[in-house]
Amino acid sequence: MNFLQVKAELDKPADASDVQDLDLARNEIRRLRALINSHCIPKRVAICGGGNAAHVLGGLLSSNTLVSSVNFLNTWEPEFERFKNILEENDYNFAVEFEHGMPTRHGKINKISMNPADVIPGMDWIIISTPAFTHELYLNAIKDHIKEGALVTILVAQGGSDWCLRACLGPELCANINFCTCETLPWACRVSEFGKSGRVLATKGSVQVAALPHGALSYACTTMNALLTVDQIVPGSDEAASGKKKIHPYFEPMASPLVATLMNLNALVHPPLMYGRFCDWTETTKWEEPPELYLGVEERGASAITGCSDDLLAVRNALLAQRPELDLSAVVSLYDAFLAIYGDSVGDPTNIMTCLRTNPGYAGLKIPMKELPAEEGGGFVPNFNMRYYTEDIPYGLVVLKGVAEIVGVVTPTVDTLISWCQEKMGKEYLDAGGRLAGKDLGETRAPQNYGLTTVEDLVRWP
């Protein structure tokens, strides 16, 4: 419904039966007016977090002439104090660097605080760029300071980000803001110098964006394409040979956050890679150096990714059987997803394993491992307490499993991965019968934790 259509509805005579519809229409017109007043492109941005992506966002946004101010909110005191001290020492200068010969971009941060009241009020765009287990913490912290019509982005979605946002902010506030999320990070990136700069290692050709209400989708994509795209030559491409530059990444519309929940690429790829590498690991096995994460993928890991892909498509097909009108066209096999994202960079597109092994953008990305001290003989062993387990399982595969239970689909590979990972993590999400009834299920974003038990529940807003 556009602005004029809403206004026409409001101009109609009302009777008692129209009250609820009019309230909804008034909420829509207030949101659209705020959107119009913001001139579509946010000028004031707040970034929640302080990790790899937050550093790149800080550099990209503070160096963009369309943006008037960039604030940081960081609620973790040890990291905040270090971040603040370095910013002050550097006169709040910030930068983003690029791996493939692009010039460094320089900007300036306006303010950093642990207190949302200092950095959130009046912000046009609020980006939560933190691990999934902190999303609830940040949403609860900022909810009293979000202005009407603001765009709130969770980067990246993980599973059920819209369910989490609705539970934290409540339907009334959700009705007066715009929400969006991305299926994946737009870049492979790292902190270059903490508190000073981020570094883009590789950019993705396209990234899909989901938004609520659906009318905010164009606004969300326009915002990201205006503020986060950069000119970058893709290594090995025709453009690289000719010296021409491509605009990467391109943010394009996704049908709904449910698609982002299902197409959770981190969760569909990281646990299978860990399983493939470490499922038969014993404590006597050590590595001199951490193995390559993607370039070193083995047949077993690639096979597990394929199995996850098969489970994903089975869930998609069951959802469509119950609700044929759902647009799940972007829920595709992981092989197709890799080609869509990295097609220009992949050297050998024969299968999933070759796609991973021959993508130069993955060069240098190692498996995060635990380094043993010299007195224990040194070397590296698996770290079962890092985000490929602690984030990609409870906020990824467990969510997919929850949707699968709602639509009555079995997910053999997903079940195997959850069972193996939860044992390594010391958690219990699946019970002995393979059902989502383990003692630690409440720590996850399984839809059942939000009282969602039907397909209609999964897509409700606000």
- Domain of 319, CATH number, reads 1.10.1040.10
- Give me the CATH number covering residue 42: 3.40.50.720
pLDDT of residue 203: 85
Does 250 lie in the same domain as 315?
Answer: no
Does 142 lie in the same domain as 65?
Answer: yes
Closest C-alpha among 115, 173, 112, 124 to residue 153: 124
Determine, yes or no, domain membership for 9. no
Which tokens sit at 339?
Answer: 């080609």
Asked if residues 421 and 271 have their Cβ atoms less than 8 Å apart, the reply is: yes
214, 237, 254 — which closes off a domain?
254
Count Cβ atoms below 10 Å from residue 17 Cβ, excluding itself.
7
The three state secondary structure string of 285-332 is CCECCCCECCCCCCHHHHHHHHHHHHHHHHHHHHHHHHCCCCCCCCCC
Does 292 lie in the same domain as 181?
Answer: no
3-state secondary structure of 32: helix
272 contacts: CB under 8 Å, gap ≥ 6: 301, 302, 304, 305, 307, 308, 413, 417
11 contacts: CB under 8 Å, gap ≥ 6: none
Asked if residues 220 and 190 have their Cβ atoms less than 8 Å apart, the reply is: no
Which of 55, 145, 248, 270 is the catalytic position? Answer: 270
List % helix, strand, coil for the chain (3-state, nearest 5): 45, 15, 35
Determine, yes or no, domain membership for 56. yes
* Helix ranges, 70-122 (H): 77-89, 116-119
Q: What does the alpha-carbon distance between residue 238 and residue 234 come to, in Å, rounded to a whole number? A: 8
pLDDT of residue 230: 82
Q: What does the alpha-carbon distance between residue 61 and residue 63 come to, in Å, rounded to a whole number? A: 5
Asked if residues 95 and 59 have their Cβ atoms less than 8 Å apart, the reply is: yes
Determine, yes or no, domain membership for 133. yes
Range of the domain at 322: 260-458
Q: How far is CA 201 from the centre of its chain?
A: 18
Is 270 an active-site residue?
A: yes
pLDDT of residue 125: 98
254, 273, 298 — which closes off a domain?
254
How many domains are there within the chain? 2
**Residue 22 exposure: Cα atoms within 13 Å on the Cβ side:** 10
Which tokens sit at 413?
Answer: 């590979």
Does 177 lie in the same domain as 59?
Answer: yes
Q: What does the alpha-carbon distance between residue 317 and residue 236 come to, in Å, rounded to a whole number? A: 37
pLDDT of residue 326: 97
Buried b / exposed e along 339-359 (16+ C-beta atoms within 10 A): bebbebbbeeeeebbbbbbbb
pLDDT of residue 244: 62
Determine, yes or no, domain membership for 162. yes
Determine, yes or no, domain membership for 146. yes
Does 351 lie in the same domain as 266?
Answer: yes
Q: Helix 135-142 crosses helix 161-174 at what angle (to 10 degrees)?
A: 10
Report the chain (462 residues): mean pLDDT per 10 consecutive residues: 41 46 57 51 95 97 95 97 98 93 93 98 97 95 97 93 97 96 90 97 87 93 90 66 73 94 94 98 96 96 98 98 96 94 88 95 92 96 97 97 98 98 98 97 97 96 93
Angle at 291 between CA 186 and CA 342, to 5 degrees: 30
Q: What is the pLDDT of residues 21-52, one digit of tens each?
A: 555 655 655 555 555 444 468 999 999 999 99
**Residue 114 exposure: Cα atoms within 13 Å on the Cβ side:** 10
Determine, yes or no, domain membership for 6. no
Asked if residues 94 and 58 have their Cβ atoms less than 8 Å apart, the reply is: yes
Does 181 lie in the same domain as 125?
Answer: yes
Does 284 lie in the same domain as 250?
Answer: no
CB-based burial label for 240 (10 Å; 0-12, 13-18, 19+): middle
pLDDT of residue 37: 46
222, 254, 286 — which closes off a domain?
254
Does 309 lie in the same domain as 389?
Answer: yes
